[in-house]
Amino acid sequence: MTAATPDRFRGVLVPASTPFKADLTPDSARFNRFCAWLLDEGADGLAIFGTTSEANSVGMKDRMRMTEGLVESGVPAAKLLPGTGTCALADSVELTRHAVELGCGGVLVLPPFYYKNASEDGLYASFAEIIERVGDSRLQLYLYHFPQMAGVGIPMGVIDRLLKAYPQTVAGLKDSSGDWSNTEAVIKNFPSLHTFPSSESRAVDALKIGGAGCISASANINVRAIRALIDVWDKPEADALNAKVSAIRTIMEGYPIIAAVKAVLAAFSGDQEWNRVSPPLTSLPAEKQAALVAALKAEDFSLSMPVSEAA
């Protein structure tokens, strides 16, 4: 592309889990400590308020309050890629503007996901209106394609039109479809985009053809190993590291992954406060938690997260 884009995200980004208090409000203090730890472990960025973060179960005010709190706690805003795409244009604009004004490195934007079978014109307009209304040259927008969960995807034709209209702003894409042929096509068709598959098992495959790394739920529990893999992805030692992170990923995929991530954080840190999800999700049943922990231990998995002090 024409302009230098040295600041766009690369490597492993963590869709950081959101801890909830017993009253189901998000726990800012615990979140701040967790995010600082993820960066210490080697995360290249934090995709806060993504699907794994249960963002869509968190109210508008809490999303903004939590992001502000994180920056106030000392986490560099440039490392943050908050999710800001909602069903409603005005809400998406409000969250996006808030993130840009805080200095976030980018935003990850779902299409409006209530009305199904939206046309390409309608989807294009949804993203274009956000960009126009925020109207800030600092905005770096990453498209969030997750058709199975959102019920609405981002077709190639929409990506193409957005890139042509806003080449400096449309910075990347997270492909959570799990459909490698789609990820491959996005990387090949749109080389200026920083494109991230949603699993570390595909990180090296993506990097080989010009992808940017991965943004993965299981990076919440395994970011150090994933970062180590990405640091040497084109070297001979990558194969063994890849096999190891993929084995952990495969175990996690045997469970509802959002609740599984929290169960692992709770079990390995000893901080049971982590083992709480917001409705409509439910925590893993105790026997599944035990089986998950046992399976990870059998792979010599460990977690260095310090036990949180009492909240």
- Cβ 173 to a copy of itself shortest distance, Å: 18
- Please check if 195 is assigned to a binding site: no
| 272 contributes a contact to a copy of itself by CB under 8 A | no
- The contact mask relative to a copy of itself for 38-77 (x = CB under 8 A, - = no) is -------------x--x-xxxxxxx---------------
- Please check if 67 is assigned to a binding site: no
- Cβ 276 to a copy of itself shortest distance, Å: 12
The DSSP code for 19 is P
For this structure, is 144 an active site residue? Answer: yes
* Cα dihedral across residues 206, 210, 216, 218: positive or negative: positive
Separation between Cα atoms, residue 144 and residue 173, nearest integer Å: 6
Which among 83-91, 198-206, 216-224, 235-243 is the span making contact with a copy of itself, rule CB under 8 A?
A: 83-91
Among 1, 40, 90, 208, binds a copy of itself (CB under 8 A): 90
Separation between Cα atoms, residue 211 and residue 184, nearest integer Å: 8
Among 27, 44, 94, 175, binds a copy of itself (CB under 8 A): 94
- Cβ 90 to a copy of itself shortest distance, Å: 3
Strands (DSSP E) contained in the chain are 11-14, 45-46, 107-109, 141-145, 170-175, 194-197, 213-215
Query: 43 and 219 in contact (C-beta within 8 Å)?
Result: yes
Best CA proximity match to 209, nearest among 231, 193, 225 = 193
Active site residues: 144, 174
Q: Which residues are annotated as a binding site?
A: 52, 215
